[in-house]
């Protein structure tokens, strides 16, 4: 563009045609979708999953639909008790950019943080769905393996130490706790070394990522190394007798917040403390033998069933 042309454009009065001029394109292309990350209580996530399962829908998609529906219907905020509960779970919801903008605008109008408004809308829609489907929300409030593990590691053992040594001991103690709680649907199944649950190593990894286990540093920015992936696979495949599991200071603080969040959790913490005192014997063999004796159906596939039986028989001899 010549200097004369540029000066002509700058000096012209554009008032009569200003409204007809096209808008300037954005400097950076805007993404079509955005992610809304919500922190919610564990029990609320369990309730969402239960309703999603009843409707045969992915729970992320169902949560997104509830937000869009509330936005279109101008749903008001609600007086929620969520702020009083530990928000330890993460719910990631993909929204288109216009929907996220609409959520933020509505939150600004009602003077609410938009994350809080989204949680309140989800809670309100969830309550309506549970009523429509005839789902009792209290049945979906069962403690998760992760919560049981936090309370277990928050309880001192017989020697006064809260650490638990070995994946086998951790699996068996969590199994006993679950069985004593009279769970209708067990997370455990018969495996190579007795009762086993895939959720236990998953919970260990989740607590490590959160920085709740001693020696963990929270979420890492980089991808795990090959050696770390091999170590994780070995931990899942074998009995794991050497690893030590103990809460960090941050983990103990989280356990205390969870314990104080409700009367039910407070009672659960006391109950798990008593179970650990009773079952967490110094010798791992004693714990394994007792589990096999009390729940024989979970020992059907065990590779050490005969060894345990011989050990138990020898113990009974005068």
**Domain locations in the chain?**
33-140, 145-316
Lowest mean pLDDT among 5-19, 49-63, 262-276: 5-19
Q: Has domain 33-140 been given CATH number 1.10.1220?
A: yes
Of residues 19 and 215, more confidence is placed in: 215
Of residues 291 and 7, more confidence is placed in: 291
Query: Is 237 a residue whose pLDDT tops 70?
Result: no
Mean pLDDT, range 167-180, rounded to an integer? 94
Query: Is 1 a residue whose pLDDT tops 70?
Result: no
- Specify the pTM: 0.55
- How sure is the predictor about 271, in pLDDT bands with cuts at 50, 70 and 90? very high
Query: Is 234 a residue whose pLDDT tops 50?
Result: no
Q: Looking up tokens 């659960």, which residue turns up? A: 268
**Residues contacting residue 102 through CB under 8 Å, at least 6 positions apart:** 71
**pLDDT digit string, tens, across residues 92-144:** 999 998 899 999 999 999 898 999 999 999 999 999 998 888 776 665 557 88
Predicted local confidence at residue 104, as pLDDT: 93
């Amino acid at each position: 563009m010549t200097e004369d042309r540029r000066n002509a454009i700058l000096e012209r009065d554009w008032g009569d045609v200003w409204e007809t001029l096209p808008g300037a394109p954005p400097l950076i292309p805007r993404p079509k979708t955005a992610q809304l990350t919500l922190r919610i209580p564990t029990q609320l996530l369990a309730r969402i999953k239960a309703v999603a399962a009843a409707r045969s829908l992915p729970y992320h998609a169902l949560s997104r639909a509830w937000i869009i529906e509330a936005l279109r219907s101008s749903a008001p905020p609600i007086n929620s008790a969520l702020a009083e509960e530990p928000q330890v779970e993460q719910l990631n919801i993909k929204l288109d950019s216009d929907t996220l903008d609409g959520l933020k605008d509505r939150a600004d109008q009602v003077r609410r943080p938009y994350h809080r408004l989204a949680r309140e809308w989800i809670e309100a829609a969830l309550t309506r769905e549970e009523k429509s489907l005839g789902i009792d929300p209290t049945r979906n409030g069962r403690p998760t393996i992760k919560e049981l593990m936090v309370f277990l590691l928050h309880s001192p053992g017989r020697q006064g130490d809260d650490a638990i040594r070995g994946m086998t001991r951790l699996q068996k103690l969590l199994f006993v706790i679950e069985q004593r709680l009279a769970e209708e649907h067990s997370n455990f199944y018969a495996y190579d070394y007795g009762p086993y649950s895939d959720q236990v190593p998953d919970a260990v990894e989740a607590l490590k990522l959160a920085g709740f286990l001693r020696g963990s540093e929270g979420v890492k920015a980089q991808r795990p190394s090959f050696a770390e992936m091999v170590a994780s696979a070995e931990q899942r495949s074998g009995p794991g007798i050497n690893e030590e599991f103990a809460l960090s200071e941050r983990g103990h603080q989280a356990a205390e917040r969870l314990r104080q969040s409700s009367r039910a959790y407070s009672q659960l913490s006391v109950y798990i403390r008593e179970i650990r005192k009773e079952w967490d014997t110094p010798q791992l063999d004693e714990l394994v033998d007792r589990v096999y004796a009390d729940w024989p159906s979970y020992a059907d596939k065990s590779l050490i069933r005969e060894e345990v039986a011989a050990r138990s028989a020898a113990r009974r001899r005068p």
